Amino acid sequence: MLATSDNAGAQQLLFESRRYQQATVASYVVGGGLLVAGLMQTLRPTDTGRSISPLVYAAIPVLIVPIVLQGKQASNQRQAIALYNAGR
């Protein structure tokens, strides 16, 4: 951040990149929690036999979100570097 202090555009892109990183971590935590809870419910025997918990299915799209966010994060970092280098 210190190197980009003279370039507001680069700082903004790096700030957005950090937000994407935080959202990625949050998505991994939530998705992992849903997956573990779903597996726990799936492994618990019931009167009707075993069935896959809906939480397992809910965890799948939540765990896909970080893939999209990591691409946006990398794109923002590349743009920030290009913007900073263009301003030099």
pLDDT tops 80 at residue 3: no
pLDDT tops 90 at residue 83: no
Q: Who's near 6: CB < 8 A, 6+ residues apart?
A: 87
Please, what is the average pLDDT of the chain? 88
Burial of 67 (0-12, 13-18, 19+ CB in 10 A): exposed
Tokens of 11: 């700082």
pLDDT at 22 (0 to 100): 94
Q: What is the pLDDT of residues 71-81, one digit of tens each?
A: 999 998 899 88
Considering the entire predicted model, what is its pTM? Answer: 0.78
